[in-house]
Amino acid sequence: MRDERGIGRRVIATPVEPYRPLYVDAYRALRDAILQGRLRPGERIVEAEVARQMAISRAPIREAIRKLEHDGLVEYHPRRGAVIVRLSPAEVRDVYHVRAHLERYAARLAATRATDADLAALDRLIAEMRACAARDDLEALITADVAFHEQICRASGSRRTLQLWNSLNPQCWTLLTSLRATEYTLAEIAERHVPVLAALQARDPERAEAEIARHIIELAETVLGHLAPEPANSDAKG
């Protein structure tokens, strides 16, 4: 096609990548360091050192730390500053049991309310988990894993249940704890979702409720078996 000047309309440039704030890069770098174990539980984040290594000012580092705190990966301690969270056995148990209660309710509702499109979406997410397992991509598998559970909450039709579930920050909790669930291979993590989907496809509320509760509590117990006891008075140590 030609415009009024006779010049052919052709692509001569592509849109530039949207501006990305420096704190986003700092957040990703620190998050990766935490999840990959370069920053260990209980270790303090030294803003000046991170800023030096990234060759940026400390302001983006502070903003990244605030986001990590919101994610539940970092917490502030008196006289120490930002510290990588420890996975307290009591907190792990609490979070997973709260999730189990919420998802039991969601699964019971979804067993009768889920549409064919909802069930197809769950099936695709299991296929995605299997593909991630095959290429040994834990983080992508966890993303699909969390999406599977979120889809069940959505399929329940209960907006409040979905809001409460999201408030538990399931992405970071699932990734952090799954790194410690060494009894499961990635393929096994994917396959553990199959009985849950089968119960929903059968439109059986009691079975769906039981399967999702077993799925979550078994993972919690496996994680708890690999956690070291929380050090006494850990907050007081400098």
State pLDDT tens for residues 70-105. 887 899 888 889 998 887 888 889 989 999 999 999
For residues 205 and 157, membership in a common domain is answered with yes
Strands (E), the chain: 74-77, 81-84
**Which residue is associated with the tokens 């307290």?**
88
Among the candidates 67, 86, 105, a domain finishes at 86
* Distance from C-alpha of 105 to C-alpha of 217, rounded to nearest angstrom: 15
Examine residue 178 and state whether it is found in any structural domain, yes or no: yes
- Asked whether the predicted pLDDT for residue 181 surpasses 60, the reply is yes
For residues 97 and 212, membership in a common domain is answered with yes
For residues 93 and 119, membership in a common domain is answered with yes
What is the model's pLDDT at position 179? 65
CATH number of the domain where residue 28 is located: 1.10.10.10
For residues 103 and 220, membership in a common domain is answered with yes
Examine residue 14 and state whether it is found in any structural domain, yes or no: no
What is the model's pLDDT at position 228? 64
* Distance from C-alpha of 224 to C-alpha of 237, rounded to nearest angstrom: 24
pLDDT band at residue 237 using 50, 70 and 90 as cut-offs: very low
* Distance from C-alpha of 149 to C-alpha of 103, rounded to nearest angstrom: 8
For residues 54 and 130, membership in a common domain is answered with no
For residues 142 and 167, membership in a common domain is answered with yes
* Distance from C-alpha of 120 to C-alpha of 115, rounded to nearest angstrom: 9
For residues 97 and 185, membership in a common domain is answered with yes
For residues 166 and 97, membership in a common domain is answered with yes
For residues 35 and 122, membership in a common domain is answered with no
For residues 138 and 181, membership in a common domain is answered with yes
Task: Tell me the whole-structure pTM to 2 decimals.
Answer: 0.75
Quote the domain boundaries for residue 53: 22-86
For residues 71 and 98, membership in a common domain is answered with no
Examine residue 27 and state whether it is found in any structural domain, yes or no: yes
CATH number of the domain where residue 141 is located: 1.20.120.530
Examine residue 8 and state whether it is found in any structural domain, yes or no: no
Please name every residue paired with 74 in a beta bridge, in sequence order, or none if there are none.
Answer: 84
Please name every residue paired with 2 in a beta bridge, in sequence order, or none if there are none.
Answer: 8
Q: How many domains does the chain have?
A: 2
For residues 115 and 183, membership in a common domain is answered with yes
Examine residue 238 and state whether it is found in any structural domain, yes or no: no
What is the model's pLDDT at position 235? 45
Among the candidates 56, 86, 116, a domain finishes at 86
What is the model's pLDDT at position 11? 58
- Neighbouring residues of 7: CB distance < 8 A, sequence distance ≥ 6: none
Among the candidates 35, 61, 86, a domain finishes at 86
**Which residue is associated with the tokens 């303090």?**
44
Give the least confident one: 100-109, 113-122, 151-160, 217-226: 217-226
Examine residue 209 and state whether it is found in any structural domain, yes or no: yes
Examine residue 233 and state whether it is found in any structural domain, yes or no: no
